[in-house]
Copies of this chain bind each other. A is one copy, B any other.
Amino acid sequence: MTGLRFDLLATDAGARLGRLETAHGTIDTPAFMPVGTAASVKAMTPEAVAATGAPIILANTYHLMLRPGAERIARQGGLHRFMNWPRAILTDSGGYQVWSLAKLRKIDERGVAFRSHVDGSRHTLTPESAVDIQRLLGADIAMVLDECTAYPVAEEDARKSMELSMRWAERCKAAFMPSPGHGLFGIVQGSVFPDLRVRSAETLQRIGFDGYAIGGLSVGEGQEAMLATVEATAPRLPADRPRYLMGVGKPADILGAVRRGIDMFDCVLPTRSGRTDQAFTRGGAVNLRNARHRDDPRPLDAACACPACRGYSRAYLHHLANAKEILGLMLLTWHNLHYYQDLMSGIRDAIRAGTFAAFADSVVRAEAEGDVAPND
């Protein structure tokens, strides 16, 4: 049934090395997807995003359906052409953002009605319309519409919500028109309850998807509960299909999830941190506003090949942060995305070499050296 070819190439200490083929190029996994919410990875040109090594980005269906509108993007030739990004795009279904951003949500069996956070206009998303909107956008990977639950949530409420999401997943599958290089991923729900997660994973497999995501995490449950849920869920997913942990995370979260068999990630952390003067480095996370960088002629990260590290001193980056210059957030965003792609490339090399566990430990140890606490 699949429109996306996936090859599992190697495993090491629970970690998986793979390759996913899409209509817009090959994605070596484990892979990190920069977030391009409103058809732009914030403060980056698409050329710069590509230069970091990212083979795929994520765009938010919720934002794009409201502004500029999916039909409008379709008339402009689809999202790839509209935003000048020739590589792969995964779109979420809008479910999470309706839950976190929209106003006056009303959910029933058919779908969700809400008001736009931009202008208050009324909209609905159903499993069928979510799939249709993602088709109009031209997503290489589309996601099923799901309901998100708050954390913490009573098990009974989590069960009902998960079961609704499974019925919606089935309707999404029915609405999805397969084509080569394009695929639809199911989303496992069930909060932090292992039994619910297992039932959800089994239900989705019965329906059959091109890949399987784990949703509803990174919503306040903490790293331990998050990884425990991944550990209970991932083994119940088919080994020959990609696994995507949504909205995660810090480098240590990614390493922990890769160790538990996850292949794909997305998170706003590298881009958002870049816009608030935070940088990820091989010596830990750094706050460029800190006066200790004021006279420091060294690059941010001597081992990094990104433009921010090749062309500028910490003293200059500190000055840009201090003076609130736009170039500061451009350079730090670029660096952070480059750091994340280097991290993923390091992970893939380590799996290939059979040294993943040692690699992961060394990265987590280095993170503790930064001036930003790893769990901030």
Q: How far is the CA of A328 from the CA of B48 in the complex (A)?
A: 15
Q: Interface readout for A240-279 with B: 1 if CB under 8 Å, 0 if not? A: 0000000000000000000000000000000000000000
Q: Is A307 an interface residue (CB 8 A)?
A: yes
Q: Which residues of A, 326-351, contact B by the 8 Å Cβ criterion?
A: 326-331
Which residues on B sit within 8 Å (CB–CB) of A322? Answer: 67-68
- Cβ contact of A319, chosen from B42, B67, B311, B313, cutoff 8 A: B67
Q: Interface readout for A51-81 with B: 1 if CB under 8 Å, 0 if not? A: 0000000000001000110001001110000
Q: Is A357 an interface residue (CB 8 A)?
A: no
Residue of A40, A43, A295 ringed by the most chain B CB atoms within 10 A: A40
Which residues on B sit within 8 Å (CB–CB) of A330? Answer: 43, 45, 326, 330
Q: How far is the CA of A322 from the CA of B72 in the complex (A)?
A: 14
Distance in Å: Cβ of A234 to nearest Cβ of chain B: 35
- Cβ contact of A68, chosen from B39, B312, B319, cutoff 8 A: B319
Q: Which residues of A, 81-139, contact B by the 8 Å Cβ criterion?
A: 82-84
Q: Given the known inter-chain contacts A68-B294, A84-B311, A307-B45, please indicate yes or no for A76 contacting B327, CB distance below 8 A.
A: no
Q: Given the known inter-chain contacts A84-B312, A316-B83, please indicate yes or no for A326 contacting B72, CB distance below 8 A.
A: no
Q: Is A180 an interface residue (CB 8 A)?
A: no
Interface residues in A, total, Cβ within 8 A: 40
Distance in Å: Cβ of A313 to nearest Cβ of chain B: 6
Tell me whether A68 and B315 are in contact (CB under 8 A): yes
Q: Given the known inter-chain contacts A45-B330, A330-B45, please indicate yes or no for A76 contacting B313, CB distance below 8 A.
A: yes
Q: Given the known inter-chain contacts A67-B322, A297-B76, please indicate yes or no for A82 contacting B315, CB distance below 8 A.
A: yes
Q: Given the known inter-chain contacts A39-B316, A315-B68, please indicate yes or no for A326 contacting B323, CB distance below 8 A.
A: no
List 19 A-B residue pairs with CB atoms under 8 Å apart, sorted by A's residue number: A38-B319, A39-B319, A40-B320, A40-B323, A40-B328, A42-B326, A42-B327, A43-B327, A44-B327, A45-B307, A68-B315, A72-B295, A72-B315, A76-B316, A82-B316, A84-B311, A84-B312, A84-B316, A326-B330
Known: A44-B327, A67-B319, A82-B319. 17 other contacts (CB 8 A): A38-B325, A39-B316, A40-B320, A40-B323, A40-B325, A43-B326, A43-B330, A45-B330, A45-B331, A68-B318, A75-B295, A82-B313, A82-B315, A84-B311, A84-B316, A326-B326, A330-B330
